Amino acid sequence: MTPLLDVRDLKIEFKTDTGTFMAVDGVSFTVNRGATLGIVGESGCGKSVTSLGIMGLIPTPPGRYVGGEVLFEGRDLLSMSNSERRALRGGRMGMVFQEPMTSLNPVYTVGAQIIECLRAHGMTNRREARERAIELLDLVRLPSPSKRVDDFPHQLSGGQRQRVMIALALANNPDLLIADEPTTALDVTIQAQILDLMRDLSDRTGAAIMLITHDLGVVAETCDDVVVMYAGKVVERAPARDLFNGPMHPYTLGLMAAVPRLDTNSDRLETIPGSVPPPWAMPAGCRFASRCPLATEECRASQPPLREIGKDWLVACWRAPIEEISV
């Protein structure tokens, strides 16, 4: 089956005062129709830049596409004109941004913002657009949608604003929904509600979801496949069930070891020693080598390729497959 989204060797660089660096360096993955793909990694690993690159929202300058392809139903988004990309963005591709308070326009009601999105993609009748906006707010379980449609963003709670963002992203029945840290800054109860809502909407609409997060618990609960990123590169890609049963990259193992557990008596949280190398001074070899307990001279000298070690399972590690590692 042809994937809905096929990202191939995507490279995005940024020019800064300290020099030019590659924020996304050869990232590849696919998203199938109706499936949920999770992209995980530490802050600064390139997750959000990857999502913005797919949507065509990289600010130029300072950003620049250096290479690769982003195929949506076989068409390369990077070779499209701005008008063609705008027609897809907000139409067949929707995005839930990381911080709803700064993503929503504070001087317009939430209904006006949904109506604008609907009219930009072909709904010309304003009354019908308003009715559709109320339907969408009801779909995302916003209480009293016919009243809330005339509220401004500051009149809503954080969880309610996030629901509005999801309604905006779903306004034109997209085939692909990209959610960038959709539960950031929300309390645990509201997080669970938002994730349950996204799963329900995916089941009802058939939309594929690309979920960007640093929360492995969220990934385990919602995703079919997982991409693990580190320092701008994909280090592991696998079906979620396989990955959580036995990760093969030392970085993935470190991330999982750092998750708090209820079945241990230790009051100490595990950590990954060291820090991510600065983007303007990446090592010649594996970017995780300085923090990896298994690193050899080969790891420090040359970059491991992303290679297949099982069905739909790829790992960028010279030591994989690994039976058991203590990180």
The CATH code of the domain that includes 31 is 3.40.50.300
Is residue 73 located within the same domain as residue 167? no
CB 130 within 8 Å of CB 80: no
Using pLDDT thresholds of 50, 70 and 90, give the confidence band for residue 262. Answer: low
Angle (CA) 310-199-194 rounded to 5° is 120
Higher pLDDT, 20 or 225: 225
Higher pLDDT, 314 or 326: 314
CA distance 260 to 268: 9
Handedness of CA 238, 243, 248, 252 (dihedral sign): positive
Is residue 114 located within the same domain as residue 260? no
pLDDT at 267: 67
Is residue 158 located within the same domain as residue 220? no
pLDDT at 90: 77
Out of 171, 202, 219, pick the residue that ends a domain: 171
What's the pTM?
0.87
Q: Rounded mean pLDDT of 3-7?
A: 92
Using pLDDT thresholds of 50, 70 and 90, give the confidence band for residue 324. Answer: very low
Residue 97 lies in a domain: no
pLDDT at 185: 65
CA distance 273 to 170: 41
pLDDT at 276 over 50: yes
Residue 320 lies in a domain: no
pLDDT at 158: 81
Using pLDDT thresholds of 50, 70 and 90, give the confidence band for residue 304. Answer: very high
Is residue 285 located within the same domain as residue 186? yes
Higher pLDDT, 308 or 193: 308
pLDDT at 326: 47
pLDDT at 1 over 80: no
Handedness of CA 252, 230, 209, 132 (dihedral sign): positive
| 31-66 confidence digits (pLDDT tens) | 998 899 999 988 888 898 999 999 988 888 888 999
Out of 114, 148, 171, pick the residue that ends a domain: 171
Domain that holds residue 194: 5-92+172-315
Q: Tokens representing 176?
A: 């692909």
Out of 171, 196, 223, pick the residue that ends a domain: 171
pLDDT at 239: 94
pLDDT at 51: 92
- If one counts the domains in the chain, the total is 2
| Eight-state DSSP code of residue 187 | -
Is residue 117 located within the same domain as residue 192? no
| 103-136 confidence digits (pLDDT tens) | 888 999 999 999 988 888 877 788 888 999 998 8
pLDDT at 99 over 80: no
Is residue 193 located within the same domain as residue 305? yes
How deeply is 44 buried, as exposed, middle or buried, from its count of CB atoms within 10 A (0-12, 13-18, 19+)? middle
| 196-221 confidence digits (pLDDT tens) | 877 887 888 788 999 998 888 888 88
pLDDT at 150: 93
Is residue 189 located within the same domain as residue 154? no
Is residue 190 located within the same domain as residue 264? yes
Is residue 158 located within the same domain as residue 221? no
Query: Does residue 226 come out as left (phi exceeding 0), alpha (psi in the -120 to 50 range) or beta?
Result: beta
Is residue 239 located within the same domain as residue 291? yes
Average model confidence (pLDDT) for the chain? 86
What DSSP element (H or E) covers 20? strand 19-31
pLDDT at 327: 44
Is residue 185 located within the same domain as residue 271? yes
**Contacts with 297 (C-beta within 8 Å, 6 or more apart), sequence order:** none
